[in-house]
Structure 1
Amino acid sequence: MARTPSDVAPRDYATARRRLLRGTARPGPSRRAELSRLTDHWLAGLFGGARPGAALVATGGYGRGELSPRSDFDLLLLHDGSTGSAELAELADRIWYPVWDLGIALDHSVRTPAEARKTADEDLKVQLGLLDARHLAGDPALTSALRTAVLARWRAQAPRRLPELHELCRERADRHGELRFLLEPDLKEARGGLRDATALRAVAASWLADAPREGLEQARRTLLDVRDALQLATGRAGDRLSLQDQDQVAADLGLLDADTLLRQVYEAARTLSYAGDVTWREVGRVLRGRSGRQRLRGLLGARGGARQERTPLADGVVEHDGEATLARTARPERDPVLPLRAAAAAAQAGLPLTLPTVRRLAQAAPPLPVPWPAEARQEFVRLLGAGRATVPVWEAMEDAGLVTVLLPDWDRVRCRPQRNPVHTWTVDRHLVETAVRASALTRRVQRPDLLLVAALLHDIGKGWPGDHSVVGATIARDMAARIGFEPADVDVLGTLVRHHLLLVETATRRDLDDPATVESAAEAIGAPGTLELLRALTEADALATGPAAWSAWRGGLVADLVKRVGAVLAGGAADAGAEPYEPTAETERLALDAWRTGGPALVLHTGAEPEGADGAEGAPGAPGGEPAGAELLVALPERPGVLPAVAGVLALHRLTVRAAELRRLPLPAEVTEPGGGDAGDGAHVGNGPSVLLLSWRVAAEYGALPEPDRLRADLVRALDGALDVAARLGEREAAYRRPRGRTSEAPPARVTVAATGSQLATVIEVRAQDAPGLLFRVARTLERARVTVRSAHVSTLGANAVDAFYVTGPEGAPLPATEASELARELERALTG
């Protein structure tokens, strides 16, 4: 086929192109636009003047005007069929060969509009390229008609093509990984890269859904700028940002160093990834809604749709159409805890937070006071303890800027790379992943709240110069105090962060048979409770680092070290006796009322904690400053079924138990004297009569607290058998049960018999996911086992219930070992069934 000579034009274009790319201007939109204009002018000259029935069209990246130094030219020679084949071939050669002569890659085709539409229908990638079609030369009406037809067909076929596009995005992510976590990322193909940006444009063009616009264009520009600098630095048409090229690319972009470059790349990828998550979720919602309306029209023979149910999740938070959103009555401008409450509720339910919700919370919610109120700390721990479901909720908060508002020091680790191939994640994501791993270990420790917060903060020092463990301990202490932990807990968190590498480094690098090694570790750790937390943190940290960081061998060495250090700490510690409980005037009055009436007497304190309230005093490992919300004191003569009845009534009234204690309160001696009052049939403990005193710290799941008279009336009905608590709880659970797969993951309940608990009773320890009716199920199981609960110490730490029950057998003695073990297994079955 003959070629039309055009040697001068290619040389002029090549010279101008080289001058533009090698000039002083840094990569950016203006340089890409100028390169596109220069290329447009050259190709239009190759095409020739006006030519009816034929047009030269740019598609794909070139159609968007995003030519990089080594970009392909995506060109379509469009014709209406009136031009002869020989003439078309000559025209094509006149354009294609000069491009090839310059060594520029070319993706080209010659098609009629009908052929272009047919190919687009058959090949999704072709259709995506045509969505960005741009006229270069020839008959503009031909290009315009094709664009109109392609867009119309894309919108008409969107319900079918968008799921196909989503699947392509997922397959590409599986092959190339997550851009923001790769040390050598592919800027185009990895998840959060330029291909995903193109996919989001295609979704927007369908008019079916749209991506969140904030920050999206800047993220795309950042990746394009980096790719431009990369291709100029290497002279190759690649998109992979290799380690060996990062310093040069950073310098060409005027950045401080390669880490600064990677942080910018990761920030851009994070924005694109989150936008993709939101957009594809919206696409799914719209498509489900269309399908549902079609089914409804088929059933009813009329237009319309079913009203979407809004299921309460927490105060001010509801589930709607598979997402967590604010209730219509929510007032974020008056509720500084609402962002954390909404995030915790969403994560615990395994639901995403809607984009409008997080943005409204970020804009309207006032800042939390410092230190945080107890409720905020509780919700923060619940968020961290939700397992894998924490991640998308945390990402949504990150995108809206809520995380940095809550934890200002977080900004130093956000998107910070870790130049260690052992690490899978950036620093910030590694911290979240460690909390996810720690959530599966919360049944092993007495203080799951401290474990989860330590997991989130253990590498916080990597955003600062110096030893990250030393620096991080100081930052962690400051942040823990900000969150509202008591001074003793702040010290524990500081120790955990300072020594989070101690166990694994000592176990793998030191002689454990040397007493000095073990004694040194014990001195640094200081207390058995801290050792228990540190062991769990060590495992969570290693599992969140990557597959090479933890093994059975490492785990065995750490376990050996923990056993030796624990022996040292146990031998050096003396058990201090607990202060005897002193009843207040109020509790004595309640006890006498219950004794004289034979029924329950109760009082509900709301707001500030009443003077003399005992709270969770004496509870093993219970934190100070538990969220009060309200304190409920209940006194009643001992009789079968008391504990499950009270726990069940509280659950029916949607009261969340934050902390609780059960005691037997001796009555004054005068009640046994003539006329002193003999209405009750209370049990005698020791030398005198007593009644049961239950002290509860409760909070309403949502709405207002119930009236005390209603609580008392329902408690009387439950004790008399007129109110079937189990049936009512079962009905409510069935009514609000979410579809399978929609709840957050949680480790199974763990029930153990304390090895050294008490000489007077068997101590049963229950660690489980907090849930409505949990304490009722525990109490009912203990009641059916015919054991006596001498005392109970209940605390809720985030989403974890950590309870201890002191039980005895019929003779008032501790249970035999076999019976205690069987009781523990029965409780586990009751909580997991």
Structure 2
Amino acid sequence: MNRIRIPDQRAIIDRRELASQIAALHGESDGDARREIVEALKQALEDGRAELRRRLDEKPSAGHACTGGFSFLVDQLIRVIYDHVTEAVHPLANRTSGERLTLVAVGGYGRAEMAPHSDVDIAFITPHRRTPWCEQVIETMLYYLWDLGLKVGHSSRTLEEMVRMSKEDLTIRTAMLEGRYLWGDQELYDEAAKRFRRDVVAGTARQFVSEKLEERNQRHKRMGDSRYVVEPNVKDGKGGLRDLQTLYWIGKYIHGVRSASELVDVGLLTKAEYRSFRRAEGFLLAVRCHLHLLTGRAEDRLTFDFQRQIAERMNFAERPGQAPVERFMQFYFLQAKRVGSLTGVFLAHIDDELAQKRRRTGLLAGFSPKPRMLKGYRVFGGRIAAPGDDWFKSDPVRLIEIFQIAEAESLEIHPETMRQADRDSGLIKDEVRRDPRANALFLELLAGRNDPEMVLRWMNEAGVFGRFVPDFGRVNAQMQFDMYHHYTVDEHTIRAIGLLNKIEKGELAEDHPRATRLIHKVASRRAAYVAVLLHDIAKGRGGDHSILGAEIALELCPRFGLSDAETELVSWLVREHLLMSATAFKRDLTDPKTIEDFVERVQGLERLRHLAILTSVDIRAVGPGVWNSWKGQLLGQLYDAAHERLRLGHVQEGRVPRVAAKKRTVAELLDDKNGLLDQAEQVFDDAYWIAEPEDVIALNIVQYAAAREQKHKLSVHCEYYEARGATLVTVIAADHPGLFYRIAGGIHLAGANIIDARIHTTRAGWAVDNFLVQDPVGKPFREPSQLKRIEDTIADALANRIELAPKLAQRPLPRTRANAFDVSPRVVFDNTASNRFTVIEVNARDRSALLNRLARTLFEARLIVQSAHITAYGERAADTFYVTDLTGDKITESSRLSRLENELLDAASDQRQREMEDA
């Protein structure tokens, strides 16, 4: 966009010296020196690249210098090649008017923004019909460029073809818009530029802007439609380089600017905004250059495995509570946020310009409708605007008020006013933060009935949110370096607030029926919104963010105007916001002790209602696909059990009545097969009846009876289990040691992930094991061929027809980028979580067949697994086992626990995985 001065150019490439070298090679060989010439060009290219890599290492944030340097290097090579081809290979003494050729750098190369492995985009333009000489020159040049290993995007057009195709194709028009004279016939280039402005651009500004913005919107949708996705695309993602380039294209198309700096001259950006433009652009270009150099290819996705390396290359240091990679990504997202702010202001100016042109030339020329006034603000065309430039300076509380009015009245904020708010956000000092009116307005906005998510996002973009709530400002653009969280902390929080608003309006009743009912039963809806705002407020500070966040809540809630009771509730919710999900996903909900321990910490129905709502929106706001019906079922089961215990003060029914009630329901489900119930009552003990849901029991009874009648030694059945959003796999076999780990291995080998497992042994010595499984992206298996594969693989594993260990080691983990994270395995024993079992929780890096290896370790330790609960948090797995020893007792001996811990850590370690793969 702005041609940058390249210092010490000859250290990159000396064109005159290279040209002399090539001329000498050509002369010495009687014109047959192509191979030697290519080698000389390759050497010059490699030397230039090495010099530019060295410069980037010295100044790792110098994005403009790096991309400008690579453009300069390619420029010089192309000029040398052109001169050699036209003077030595295809010389022409007296060229006709048609034997003229100009080389135009287009696209990113035309902007002189070339990352190390960017395409070399060249337009070869001729005046009229292409002559044989022009075609020979173009073909020979392309072969030289290809021999150098350059990826060339080229076109060969006459002036008329250039005009016609630019009119027809937006991509071609955009590429030509950035056309830069490279070499060849200067007069022909000037004529092409003139024709482009006159015949293509003139009179089409509105159409071009509309098409470019639609193109941008479609690109954003493909890239996740948020500038805060934790693996952003530096080039095409929201807030990336392409968004800045779009601003330049529009400015150039409408005003004919030749560089980004001229956007200031035509009034589209202020000088301060232009400086922000250049800073953001320079940083993003530097990141892109590092990506290209690290990967050795044109890579624009800033994935986890490269984030840590680039943070190191760009000299980001560690800070308390923040790793270098997290600081690097926070800075990245701040730049992306700045790009978003600039885009809003810029497009508002363009919109106003085009609107004025329409009024001046249309039927309503001369007619100017008056805006209405609302609480001192101008409202026009669905937008609210400050009435003057000193509006916020005269009363800084208005910086909060305008956003509250926008939410309450469903108005957009005029981008010029957003620019003012951004500029004046520094006026928000302690006096404003303590102002009761300002806090009342903020609380009204936060718990708004229309669209608080959108308006809070605007407030955040303008820098007002972080100024008014400094603790929120600290998590602004803060990344969580893991594969579980899809967004930065501030974006996750704002999305969660939006989800709560949608739940309250009944828009998510299908996915969240319980939360939709509960939000209208809580005593304080504003406490629910404040709890969502503050639940992650202390991330990145070091220490437990839940405990630190609870302390922040005790300070902020009174400031916002919450009562003592609301403050206590919000503080508790922030401190315990992970309690419900941890209990539901990692503990056996059929174990009465699980419910007792949970209720002891909740202690009240109002807390339970709020916690259920907060847990739902927190999980769903993590990212697409994280919430599913299985999680909803587990949370609902926990809620219902806790609600019953809290409401009655005790469990409603004892063991015997509960078993009897289940048997009655099962009999109804069995219908004409209810005669099987008598046999089942003799086979299954009370623990089985309590642990399994009625519909699963009915399925198990029918399968068990059929297996016994046909005297099958093994019965495996799979079916889609809609109520749980998973596939139910039931295995009935003669019980024997190691059965569980072999079944788990077979399921893994079929490409399935186990999310829950219940292991039972009948009085007759038969194992009846129920597994819930999903595919690697959390979806159930439904197709008959998929279900048959699972059944066959389990049967092969149990019959020893396949060797599990080597086969499993060969299966790659679908998320191979998990290797970018340090996940140290950890084992926790809990003999208080259950009255009957020792609970073992293993946290480790998620990988192929982890459950199988852990289960085998428990088998070799002579332990019996009664149930297993498997949870994945991105790259990290948390597997929980309820176990006893062979006599049915807990494991309490410290030496045995210590030995078991070491064995489980070894099974979960990266080293064990590598040893299995090597074997």
The TM-score bracket by the shorter chain reads: 0.5 to 0.7
Q: Name the CA shift for 1:280/1:262 in 2 (closer, same or farther; >3 Å).
A: same
Q: Aligned to 2:520, what secondary structure does the other structure show?
A: helix
Partner residue in 1 for 2:500: 438
Q: Aligned AA for 2:435?
A: P
The equivalent residue for 2:800 is none
**Structure 2 SS opposite 1:416:** coil
Cα distance change of structure 1 residues 530 and 337 upon mapping to structure 2, 3 Å threshold: farther
1:404 pairs with one of 466, 470, 480: 466
User: How far apart are residue 349 of structure 1 and its match?
Assistant: 2.7
For residues 408-427 of structure 1, the aligned pairs below 5 Å read 408-427=470-489
Q: Paired residue for 2:457?
A: 395
The one of 411, 414, 421 equivalent to 1:354 is: 414
Q: Give the secondary-structure state (helix, strand or coil) at the position aligned to 2:104.
A: strand
In structure 1, list runs of 5 or more residues that go unmatched. Answer: 298-302, 574-833
Q: Distance in 2 between matches of 1:195 and 1:329?
A: 32
Q: In the alignment, residue 453 of structure 1 is paired with which amino acid?
A: V
Distance verdict in 2 for CA 1:15–1:567, change over 3 Å = closer
Instruction: Report the AA paired with residue 400 of structure 2.
Output: L
8 Å contact from structure 1 (residues 188, 239) kept in 2: yes
Cα separation, 1, equivalents of 2:611 and 2:149: 60
Unmatched segments (≥5 aa) in structure 2: 1-30, 88-94, 256-266, 318-323, 505-518, 651-919
Q: Counterpart amino acid of 1:121?
A: K
- Aligned residue in 2 for 1:322: 382
Q: For the structure 1 residues 361 and 237, does the alpha-carbon distance in structure 2 shift closer, same or farther, using more than 3 Å as the test?
A: closer
1:506 aligns with 2:541: no
Task: Report whether the alignment pairs 1:309 with 2:371.
Answer: yes
* 1:331 corresponding residue in structure 2: 391
Identity of aligned residues (%): 29
Displacement after TM superposition at 1:278 (Å): 4.7
2:171 corresponds to which residue? Answer: 125
Residue 621 of structure 2 is aligned to residue 544 of structure 1: yes
Structure 2 partner of 1:25: 56
Paired with 2:489 and 2:417, the residues of 1 have a C-alpha distance of: 27
Residues 344 and 379 in structure 1, CA contact (< 8 A), matched pair in contact too? yes
Distance 1:502 1:449 in 2: 21
Contact 2:128 2:160 in 1 (8 A): no
- TM-score, length-normalised on structure 2? 0.57
1:419 and 1:183 mapped to 2: Cα distance?
Answer: 8
Pick from 173, 179, 182 the counterpart of residue 136 of structure 1.
182
Alignment partners' CA distance in 2, 1:570 and 1:306:
64
> 1:392-412, CA deviations, whole angstroms, 9 ceiling, x for partnerless residues?
433333233212211112233
CA contact (8 A) 1:387 1:436 kept: no
Q: Structure 1 pair 456/445, CA: closer, same or farther in 2 (3 Å)?
A: same
Distance (Å, rounded) in 2 between the aligned partners of 1:279 and 1:388: 27
Q: CA deviation at 1:242?
A: 2.9
Aligned partners of 2:433, 2:336: CA distance in 1, in Å? Answer: 34
Q: Distance in 2 between matches of 1:454 and 1:379?
A: 17
**TM-score, normalising length: structure 1:** 0.62
Corresponding residue for 2:106?
Answer: 59
Structure-2 change in CA distance of 1:333 and 1:185 (3 Å): closer
- 1:166-565 equivalence runs, <5 A: 166-178=213-225, 180-207=227-254, 210=268, 213=274, 215-256=276-317, 257-280=324-347, 283-284=350-351, 287=354, 290-291=357-358, 295-297=362-364, 303-312=365-374, 315-327=375-387, 331-364=391-424, 365-367=427-429, 369=431, 372-386=434-448, 389-439=451-501, 440-441=503-504, 442-512=519-589, 516-565=593-642
Paired with 2:456 and 2:215, the residues of 1 have a C-alpha distance of 26
Residue 12 of structure 1 and its aligned partner are, at CA, apart by 4.7
Secondary structure in structure 1 of the residue aligned to 2:102 = strand
Using the TM superposition, give the Cα deviation of residue 494 of structure 1 relative to its aligned residue in structure 2, in angstroms: 1.1
Tell me what 2:723 maps to. none
Aligned counterpart in structure 1 of residue 81 of structure 2, from 36, 46, 51: 46
Structure 2 match to 1:617: none
1:362 deviation in Å? 4.3
Aligned pair count reads 564
- Contact in 2 for aligned 1:317/1:327 (Cα 8 Å): yes
SS for the counterpart of 1:545 is coil
CA offset digits 1:538-594 (Å, max 9, x no partner): 222222223544344443443454455455556689xxxxxxxxxxxxxxxxxxxxx
- Alpha-carbon shift at residue 92 of structure 1 (Å): 1.5
1:737-772 Cα shifts (integer Å, max 9, x gaps)? xxxxxxxxxxxxxxxxxxxxxxxxxxxxxxxxxxxx
The separation in 1 between residues aligned to 2:292 and 2:538, in whole angstroms, is: 35
Q: Distance in 1 between matches of 2:78 and 2:331?
A: 35
Residue type at the aligned position of 1:13: A
Q: Distance in 2 between matches of 1:179 and 1:361?
A: 22
- Structure 1, residues 375-399: CA drift from partner, whole Å, max 9, x if none? 2222212222346733443333323
Q: Hey, what's the Cα distance between the residues in 2 that align with 1:494 and 1:473?
A: 4
The C-alpha deviation readout for 1:666-708, integer Å capped at 9, x for no partner, is: xxxxxxxxxxxxxxxxxxxxxxxxxxxxxxxxxxxxxxxxxxx
Alpha-carbon shift at residue 200 of structure 1 (Å) = 1.5
Change (3 A) 1:514 1:31: closer
Q: Tell me which residue corresponds to 1:115.
A: 161
Deviations 1:585-633 (A, max 9, x none): xxxxxxxxxxxxxxxxxxxxxxxxxxxxxxxxxxxxxxxxxxxxxxxxx
Offset of 1:288 from its aligned partner?
A: 5.3
User: Deviation of residue 357 (structure 1)?
Assistant: 1.6
Q: 2: CA distance between counterparts of 1:322 and 1:172? A: 26
The aligned residue for residue 737 of structure 2 is: none
Contact 2:52–2:69 (CA under 8 A) maintained in structure 1 = no
Residue 696 of structure 2 aligns with which residue?
none
The 1:158–1:388 alpha-carbon spacing in structure 2 relative to 1, beyond 3 Å, is: farther
What letter is aligned with 2:116? P
* Cα offsets for 1:776-813 (capped at 9, x unmatched): xxxxxxxxxxxxxxxxxxxxxxxxxxxxxxxxxxxxxx
Give the counterpart letter for 1:266 in structure 2.
Answer: F
Q: Are residues 366 and 426 of structure 1, via their aligned partners in 2, closer, same or farther at CA, if it must alter by over 3 Å?
A: closer
Alignment CA distance shift 1:216-1:155 (3 Å): farther
Q: What is the rounded CA distance, in whole Å, between the counterparts of 1:533 and 1:293 in structure 2?
A: 56
Partner of 1:163: 210
Indicate conservation of the 8 Å contact 1:203/1:210, yes or no. no
SS at match of 2:434: coil
In structure 2, relative to structure 1, the CA distance for the partners of 1:548 and 1:47 (3 Å cut) is closer
| Cα displacement string for residues 510-537 of structure 1 (whole angstroms, at most 9, x for unaligned residues) | 3556565445434433444333322221
Closer/same/farther in 2, CA of residues 565 and 390 from structure 1, 3 Å limit? same
Mapped to 2, the partners of 1:158 and 1:261 lie a distance apart of 38
TM-superposed CA distance for 1:73, in Å, is 0.9
Partner deviation per Cα, 1:715-740 (whole Å, 9 max, x = no partner) = xxxxxxxxxxxxxxxxxxxxxxxxxx
Q: 1:351 to 1:192 in 2, by over 3 A?
A: same
Q: Give 2:677's aligned residue.
A: none
Deviation at 1:436, TM superposition (A): 1.0
Contact 1:56 1:137 (C-alpha < 8 Å) held by counterparts: yes
- Please give the residue correspondences for 1:715-754 in structure 2 after superposition, counting only pairs within 5 Å: none
> 1:234 Cα shift?
1.1
What is the CA distance between 1:17 and its match in structure 2?
1.8
Correspondence for 1:71: 118
Q: Closer, same or farther in 2 for the Cα pair 1:105/1:489, shift >3 Å?
A: same
Residue 351 of structure 1: how far off its partner (Å): 2.5
Aligned partners of 1:4 and 1:260: how far apart in 2?
A: 53
Cα gap change, 1:360 to 1:242, in 2 (>3 Å)? closer
Letter in 2 for 1:130: M
Return the alpha-carbon distance in structure 2 between the equivalents of residues 15 and 509 of structure 1: 55
Distance in 2 between the 1:563 and 1:535 partners?
Answer: 11
Distance 1:64 1:371 in 2: 45
- 1-structure distance, mates of 2:450, 2:357: 30
Counterpart AA for 1:397: M
